[in-house]
A and B are shown apart, each in its own frame.
Chain A
Amino acid sequence: MRVGDVAVPHRIDAGEVGLWQHELVGPGVAATLDPNPLLLVDVLPDPAAFALASGLRPSGEGARGRDTESVWDQRGRIDRGDALFVVTTVADLSDGAAADGTASVRAEFRNDVYQAGTGRHVGSATGVMLFVSGAS
């Protein structure tokens, strides 16, 4: 995995992701959520996990990642039912060391989200993960 690597773009449905999220935060909270507009965090609640599932993973055997930071920067409106395309890239990689001296890699993934119909950029969701080789 190198900086600039791009995963195969994914198409997602803003309606589907919103539904399961609202259910899982609990019925009391979900009852206060309006269907529209959606925030980008509703569509991509875990930017780093999305990148990993898209195939962008460090090459080290047994490397496990820990989610450390996420940033959603929304630029356009998203409504339930919108079809979106997500283009995921490796934005940054840097070597480091865990507290016990084990080598680690900090990986920053950027997901750019576009309306499928118009191609309009509606925002980016960035996730940072810390990978430690062989960590459990």
Chain B
Amino acid sequence: MTASFEVGHAFAVHGPLEPDAELLRRWTAAHAAAVEASATAAEGAATVPGSWKAAMLRALLPQWLERTPGLASFGVRHHAVDQPGEPLTFGGSVREVQVDEAGRRAVTCDLWCRAAGGALTTTARVTALLDDPAPAQLPLDALRNALRVGEDVAAFTYRVESNDVLRLNDALGVGRDDDTVPTTYFALLDPVERRDLDLDGFLEELALPRTGGGNAFNEVIYERPLQVGDVLTVTTRYTDVYEKPGSRGTLLFRVRINEMRDDRGRLVATSRCGHVLGFRVASGQGAAS
């Protein structure tokens, strides 16, 4: 990994390639399979699909950048149609190099596809993040800080709606017309599951292979059953963050408590929920890839 990306650096030209009609038919058919429909396949491969040229440019990035690029913006413009069997070449150059606050390099490149006569038929601009090494361990301290473990981090107010109760009872097989609020409804009063509260979203961006995730446990202690029309304020507090080895890599647990009070401030229920994410950390990474 010794490439230096100076502005103006030109990538090795790839090609010429002469994509034949059969290859391009398979390309369009594969698109159709991917989207479970036949619209693109029906249009055949009378010309070289722009998507194939874009995919070629994208596929050449690891060669040109000498590593697998991270998050990227990628814009492609098609200026002219190419015919199957005609030679195409692919190339590009570095337009800009920037370093972000995390020390990662963002390299912007201008890429192109040329037809036999030299005409540019497709151009692209890509900005790829480099130098995003996988951490050797999970960022537990950063996560604890983000979740402000031990503090009340947010309060949201929800109303127990008849329509929600009916739908939940229907799903539970209780009966479509029964508006008795089931105990399961407490699980719906969780700001995290409702996506109202997201303090650990950065975990999604960790440069570590994910091996799974989901709810680990849910428990509730309630003072009284819920009723349709109850207006509850739910206060969330994270109580614990820990990791432990599992069969699917290192498991990261975040445990939170939701305290639910009615509109007079009386405690109605307290729920405790655990969520787990699995990561392939350190020595396990080789196996994952």
Contact = CB atoms under 8 A, between A and B. Distances in A.
Report the interface size class on chain A. Answer: 35 or more
Most A-side CB within 10 Å, residue of B26, B72, B214: B72
Contacts, number: 146
Contacts of B201: 120
A interface, over-half SS:
mixed
A33 B214 CA distance: 30
B183 to A, nearest CB: 25
Interface in A64-111: 64, 66-77, 79, 82
B39 interface: yes
Contact of B73 (A17, A57, A71, A119): A71
B55 A21 contact: yes
Interface residues of B, number: 53
B77 interface: yes
B204 interface: yes
A64 B78 contact: no
Interface string B260-277: 000000000000000000
B104 interface: no
A19 to B, nearest CB: 10
Nearest to A30: B59
Interface of A: 10, 12, 16-17, 20-22, 24-26, 29-30, 32-37, 39-42, 45-46, 49-50, 52-55, 57, 64, 66-77, 79, 82, 115, 117-120
A71 B31 CA distance: 17
B156 interface: no
